[in-house]
A and B are shown apart, each in its own frame.
Chain A
Amino acid sequence: MSAHAESAVHGHDHHGPPTANKSSRMDATVLGMFLFIGTEAMLFGSFFAAYFFVRVVNPDASSIWPPPPYEFPKFVAGINTVILVTSSFTMHWALQSIKRNNRRGLQAGLVLTILMGTAFLLTQFIEYAHVGFNTGDGAFASVFFGLTGLHGAHVLIGLTLLTIAAVRAFRGHFSPEHHHGVELPGIYWHFVDVMWLVVYATVYLL
């Protein structure tokens, strides 16, 4: 995404900017993505803080979580966890494939990842419809919908990035040397997966 890295490639007679000095071994876009993930993690942090206040700090908090008669669908969400974790492996496979110049592998990996991500979202949506409570049913529901909803929104962003990568993969972009367009959505996707494990553990299991 850095304009200056690219301009060196098609410099011809056009006078562009001087090539910036690279003062770090880290690539600018990868560093940017890590910082962005850092700030995303803090956004999740604020939602976990709300969870902490509602469930732990609040002196009137119910000792049973979620307060009866409500229950969280641990089993369905568990299956969803398996789906999402698997998709991290297919994502990794896609990236490794393009590094070895295996375009079929890249395409298949991306498509599989997108399919699993979509399945996750659909499951989540059906879970919402059958969970038996609504956003207005108390603070436990606020926290439940808040955290899973925030995570769902991130899955959606991740899927958008992956779709872009897939479109470009099928149009013949990316090579063993140039594959930032796969690597960055990949990093983001792994983050979304890890975040889900934390959400699942704190909201459903603990």
Chain B
Amino acid sequence: MSVAEYAAHETGHGGGSAPHRRGLLMRPGFIRAAWCFAVFFLVGLYLVAGIRWLAGWDPIYDWNIIVLVGGLVMGPVGFLLGLGAFDYWLYWISGRPTKPDDHANHGAHTWTDYFKVNTDHKVIGVQYLATTFVFFVLGGLMAMLFRAELAQPGMQFMDTQTYNGLVSMHAALMIFVFIIPAFAGLANFAVPLMLGAPDMAFPRLNALSYWFLPIAGTMFLASFLAPGGAFATGWTSYAPLASEQPIGQIFFNMGVQWAGASSILTALNFLVTIITMRAPGMTFWRMPLLVWANFTTSLLVVIATPFIAGSQFFVMFDRVMHTSFFVPKGGGYVLGYQHIFWFYSHPAVYIMILPGFGIVSEIISVMSRKPIFGYRLMAMSLLGILVLGFSVWAHHMFVAGMADWLRVPMMITTLLIAVPTGVKVFSWLATLWEGRIHLNTPMLFALGFISMFVIGGLSGIYLASVPIDIHASDTYFIVAHIHYVLFGGSVLTIFAGIYYWFPKMTGRMYNERLGKLHFWLTFVSFNLTFFPMHWVGLVGMPRRVADYSDRFANLNLIITISSFALGASVVVFFYNVIVSWARGPIAESNPWRALTLEWQVSSPPPIFNFDEIPQVVGGPYEYGVPGARHAILSGGAAQPQETTV
């Protein structure tokens, strides 16, 4: 059934979208969200004040705690309640008969539906991507601001606290509310389709975990308004500095909690969906590698993310409850923070790259018209990275003053993680070999990813070696390395994924020429921006500095100019996406002649993905195998693609 038919059907059914005629104030939406936020904030305020009054603590109005409880915990809960994220559950909880599930909140009929609590995984996927790209643009603009400051030594147009704030905000936005959730968005769209499932296992939870995300991002940004400015301790937010900074810091501590809760709930949803909702015949060894990648990523998220929650709680307690988790005077242990933080944040870099590996595997196989080389080893190497990923966290702490005996074991595990990563790179290359390579935009980004990620991986070898790391850590070499893996790695794969699934998401085709222009602009300006950072770091420029010695001036000027070019390249992307979405040519259901399930249905897919659940009969990458099929679909969906021999 098409979307239009479904909408007509829905209206005939009695207008499922408005079961009760409610006034503007009571209807779920942004107006109710606004006043619920205010009410919950006040509840939080008087809860704090009341407890402090009863306990006789002075002052009764402690604004540190009121902002924390009222503004950063209760207020957002009120916002979600007002938006309608809890409506169904509240009916259910109160024991009232829940209305028959009429899917009123499922699918998008007009653009306003994207601003509601929606339970359709495809809508949520688009919501994720649109939201994360807003934060991507803001984070990028901040990077250009502080790059402008760094164009010359000395301070030109901002003070050092503002500079530190911008650097920290840039990283926080890019990591917590761009890269991690952008992958969650792509996977949200693609994974249920690829599995042959009608939706995620818990659609309402899926909607809720999306809405945590704008809350987290807004919370980060709101810290600019706090007295003393935005949090300014870097995205690593090391104690004890973080517990002594102005109040903006707790916006970071709590923003991370919301973003973390969002990714935990999404990951949990993915795991349950992948385990319990695969189509008949879809064994683990027939799953596309994107699904494998999200399976391992989700395991990482579920196991590791609570640790960053813990670390931020402790820093916050040290501030507002005067505990001494990381205060040496009270018997605390400063390095404990770094161990707990990196126990999450190292796996987090795999959370930020494994889904990209999945995307690239899909694209390379399809665009080379060949099966993935060594499919099982590809899946096993993901699991290898998962296991090794938990045993390397202390390589971020080689100069931190931790126990000396930890250094060499951590170095060895870190070096060994290059092995499964190398297996993936070599397998992609072998997939290319003797293929029929179609060099369109997604493929260009995928190949660009391989070359850039290899550079990032090799500079990682230097950093794994303890003696070199002792020289290079906390310098611009680190900045270069992290951008080669997170921009050259993750962001390029996000672009690749968006171009690849664009026709499926929107039903329209993007402009191929602009896509290629975007790639080449990005590729060249990216290298000009970040490659010189290796050099400037090794010869002596520390990172996170607002000012630097005159001898680094020339290189910094080049970096700044290139970074503006990199910023400009994104404009091409947005122009292409927006214009193509509105006016692009109508896309076929399977423009890439791919075998995976999402391409076997119409573009965009029907509201419940499949009229009947497909039967999976073979592997997902059987290109060039005579007569091979991945799945058999029945019903009104597009006919499965026959592979040409």
- The chain A residues found within 8 Å of chain B, CB to CB, are 1-4, 6-7, 10, 14-24, 26-28, 31-32, 35-36, 38-40, 42-43, 45-47, 49-50, 53-54, 57-58, 60-62, 67, 135-143, 145-146, 164, 167-168, 170-171, 173
* Residues in A neighbouring B1, C-beta threshold 8 A: 15
Report yes or no: A50 in contact with B302, Cβ–Cβ below 8 A: no
Report yes or no: A138 in contact with B101, Cβ–Cβ below 8 A: no
Report yes or no: B95 in contact with A21, Cβ–Cβ below 8 A: no
Instruction: Kindly state the separation between the CA atoms of A58 and B610 in the bound complex, as whole angstroms.
Output: 58
Report yes or no: A139 in contact with B324, Cβ–Cβ below 8 A: yes
Report yes or no: A43 in contact with B613, Cβ–Cβ below 8 A: no
A78 to chain B, nearest CB (A): 25
Instruction: Kindly state the separation between the CA atoms of A67 and B271 in the bound complex, as whole angstroms.
Output: 44
From A16, A36, A40, give the contact of B608 (CB < 8 A): A16
Report yes or no: B304 in contact with A139, Cβ–Cβ below 8 A: no
Report yes or no: B268 in contact with A49, Cβ–Cβ below 8 A: no
From B102, B203, B205, B309, give the contact of A43 (CB < 8 A): B309
Q: Contact residue range for chain B?
A: 35 or more
* Residues in A neighbouring B264, C-beta threshold 8 A: 39
Q: Is B588 an interface residue (CB 8 A)?
A: no
Report yes or no: B340 in contact with A42, Cβ–Cβ below 8 A: no
CB-CB under 8 A for A167 and B280, given A39-B264, A57-B336, A138-B331: no
Report yes or no: A138 in contact with B608, Cβ–Cβ below 8 A: no
Report yes or no: A20 in contact with B336, Cβ–Cβ below 8 A: no
Task: Fill in one digit per residue for B267-288: 1 if any A CB lies within 8 Å of its CB, else 0.
Answer: 0110110011111101000000
Interface residues of A: mostly helix, strand, loop or mixed? helix
Report yes or no: B322 in contact with A136, Cβ–Cβ below 8 A: yes
B633 to chain A, nearest CB (A): 11
CB-CB under 8 A for A138 and B330, given A46-B307, A49-B340, A173-B95: yes
* Residues in A neighbouring B198, C-beta threshold 8 A: 4, 17-20
- The chain B residues found within 8 Å of chain A, CB to CB, are 1, 6, 9, 13, 93-95, 100-103, 119, 196-199, 201-205, 264, 268-269, 271-272, 275-280, 282, 302-307, 309-311, 313-314, 317-318, 321-325, 327-328, 330-333, 335-336, 339-340, 343, 608-613
Instruction: Kindly state the separation between the CA atoms of A38 and B271 in the bound complex, as whole angstroms.
Output: 13
Q: Which of A23, A31, A47, A54 has the most CB of B within 10 A?
A: A23
Report yes or no: A32 in contact with B306, Cβ–Cβ below 8 A: no
Report yes or no: B323 in contact with A1, Cβ–Cβ below 8 A: no
CB-CB under 8 A for A23 and B95, given A53-B339, A146-B317: no
Report yes or no: A28 in contact with B101, Cβ–Cβ below 8 A: no
A-B contact count (CB 8 A): 195
A129 to chain B, nearest CB (A): 9
Report yes or no: B100 in contact with A54, Cβ–Cβ below 8 A: no
Nearest A residue to B205 via CB reads A1
Report yes or no: A42 in contact with B610, Cβ–Cβ below 8 A: no
* Residues in B neighbouring A168, C-beta threshold 8 A: 93, 95
A104 to chain B, nearest CB (A): 18
Report yes or no: A139 in contact with B325, Cβ–Cβ below 8 A: yes
CB-CB under 8 A for A45 and B101, given A26-B276, A32-B268: no
CB-CB under 8 A for A21 and B196, given A50-B336, A54-B331: yes
A120 to chain B, nearest CB (A): 20
* Residues in B neighbouring A53, C-beta threshold 8 A: 333, 335-336, 339-340
Q: Which of B275, B280, B335 has the most CB of A within 10 A?
A: B275
Instruction: Kindly state the separation between the CA atoms of A38 and B306 in the bound complex, as whole angstroms.
Output: 10
Report yes or no: B317 in contact with A28, Cβ–Cβ below 8 A: no
Report yes or no: B268 in contact with A24, Cβ–Cβ below 8 A: no
* Residues in B neighbouring A21, C-beta threshold 8 A: 196-197, 277-280, 613
* Residues in B neighbouring A139, C-beta threshold 8 A: 323-325, 327, 330-333
* Residues in A neighbouring B336, C-beta threshold 8 A: 49-50, 53-54, 57
Instruction: Kindly state the separation between the CA atoms of A99 and B301 in the bound complex, as whole angstroms.
Output: 35
Nearest B residue to A22 via CB reads B276
From A7, A62, A146, A171, give the contact of B323 (CB < 8 A): A146
Report yes or no: B333 in contact with A58, Cβ–Cβ below 8 A: yes
